[in-house]
Structure 1
């Protein structure tokens, strides 16, 4: 497996953002001519050193494909503070990375929040996409999964202080949910307006996912419009979707999209 410890490169942007990234170039440019690259989009408060990101890097290297993984601002080794960010900021990071660090058509692979970011990228740069794979995609989760679940007391706390702390199953530190995140999320929703995905799309969803309800996957499947959109439900898979058999399914989904791109 890839060793995630080497220092990343940085994309320095005019507004001062520094996006940390690791990029693997296609192993044989002549053989790879016309083959899409792959970009991994991570989840909420995750970073590019996770199991799926490094697994996909190895899988793409074995296939001779270009591959990019990066940290959104406020995540991992990129600049900025997590609490200052919101969905629109992280979608901008993804578009900047796509524009500056990749060439030609790309297959986006989005995990959890990264699935939402991938859908926003598809809306903004449809001409750059050759396909899309999501794992436990969580479009519109700030409204559907956070705000909708807040108690009256939490909503009052948000109005009073501009933030609410939520416990995390993945870290000892709580998630700090800001009013900016909630309000910006409303302007970034993709399930309340037409969503065109005119390329092969594979949606993967575990039935034991405690963070992204199965209904969300079904709603995305029903809402999106495109010629080749398929949802695979994996019985017993949780939100991490990182067991060997689940990673093998992820690689198979990539191969399906690659063959059709």
Structure 2
């Protein structure tokens, strides 16, 4: 029994050894499988890492290319904007220079106009003062003429004759003196009397008559309508015509007798009678 037990124990031990060897072999195979799997996993991981790295590099390269492209586009756009801005600034500068020059010219023109206006204002003021001084002298002269009127203060009567006719008759009484006064008052020295000078002379001569009557008398003197009257023409208008002598019967008879005596002396033969009758008839006519 002990040998059998020993053999059984040996067999069992051998079986256990075989089982252990099998288990060890299985473990080794499993270990090798695990190692293969791990190696494959590592290789896959390495490949994946390489792919990821390649993708990252590609992405980086693409990003760099995109950045470079964007930088190029930005530089081109900036160059275009700079060129456009330079052009606009040039145009603006030209426009500003033109406006500045125009404003300077306008300012200079305004300054010149102000100087010219000031000069014209001074000339106008001087002319106004001279006119006032001249008017004062003329008014003073007119007052002096009124105070010492040559013809005196004449009051024209309201009768059958018009005021112009009465004025003409009053002027005719001192025609020579009136013409001399007009010659003294001839402002422009043209040797003629204008309607303005004629109006101005009437109050100085002592006539206080309406303007329309003075103009009516002037129009009667100014027959040609020229607006002025020469001194000779005025003197002729104011000088009354010579009076005509109407022969009376006594004057006619004395003239006839004187003619008969003269005829007798010329023709004592008797032919003087016919001549005397003809002469008497002519004198009577």
TM-score interval, normalised by the smaller of the two chains: under 0.3
Which structure dedicates a bigger proportion of its chain to strand?
1
* Greater RCO structure (CA 8 Å; 6+ sep): 1
State the TM-score, normalized to the length of structure 2.
Answer: 0.21
